[in-house]
Amino acid sequence: MNRNVALIWIFTLIVLVLQAVLAYHDLPDRMASSFDFNGNPREAGSKESFYLSWLITIFVMNAFVLIMKPIFRWAPVSMINVPNREYWLATPERRTQSSLKLTNMMAAVFTCVNVMLILVFQYIVSVNLYGKPSFPIWIPFLVVPVLLVFPLVWIFAAFRVPSESKQAPRGERSLT
């Protein structure tokens, strides 16, 4: 995994966990955790059940970044759907390259998801502590278009077949 992408992803994970730990004692025992489209609380539940579901969601979702590489390594070629699959999965070296590319993409995507979750948690905390949100409910969801477009653009760019001049050894380049 790319070091910078990994560090940013880990940083967002740490922020999510710290945010939850630091807010726990200040939050009421019964808290609003479900909101309508206008940002008004719909349902309330116990703080413990909210935290349990919140932390499980964070860890299960982010675990995909860690389990992607082994899954990609052992999955049959027929189960892996990437552009130009025949080229990228033809050799062990290319399969390893593909695994690294997909792991980087997953880390980048889940970094965006974590940023969205950080904002959602902050919204929930501000409503429960101050009775009003510190920003509109739609702000965290500004990340969603990035989550829809980025992986599509990235995967097609990352899995292009290199031109012959780039993949042939130096003395063996094609003259065409």
Q: Is residue 50 part of a domain?
A: yes
Closest CA to 140 of 125, 119, 168: 119
Q: Is residue 116 part of a domain?
A: yes
φ, ψ (nearest 5 deg) of residue 79: -95, -5
Q: Is residue 167 part of a domain?
A: no
Q: Is residue 117 part of a domain?
A: yes
What would the two tokens of residue 122 be?
A: 């902050």
Please tell me the pTM assigned to this model.
0.85
Q: Is residue 22 part of a domain?
A: yes
Q: With contact defined as beta carbons under 8 Å apart, do 88 and 160 qualify?
A: no
pLDDT in tens, 106-150: 999 999 999 999 999 999 999 999 999 999 999 999 989 988 899
Q: Is residue 60 part of a domain?
A: yes
Alpha helices of the chain — where are they, by DSSP H? 3-24, 47-74, 85-88, 92-130, 144-158, 164-167
Q: How many CB atoms neighbour CB 157 within 10 A?
A: 9
> Residue 110 belongs to what domain range?
3-160
* C-alpha span between 50 and 101 (Å, rounded): 35
pLDDT in tens, 56-82: 999 999 999 999 889 988 899 999 999
Q: Is residue 168 part of a domain?
A: no
Residue found under tokens 């909101």: 35
Q: What is the pLDDT of residue 174?
A: 43
Closest CA to 91 of 110, 77, 105, 80: 77
- Place 169 in a pLDDT band, splitting at 50, 70 and 90: low
Tally of domains within the chain: 1
Per the rule left: phi > 0, alpha: psi between -120 and 50, beta: everything else, 39 is left
Q: With contact defined as beta carbons under 8 Å apart, do 109 and 7 qualify?
A: no
* C-alpha span between 101 and 98 (Å, rounded): 5
Q: What is the separation of C-alpha 145 from the centre of its chain, rounded to a whole number of angstroms? A: 13
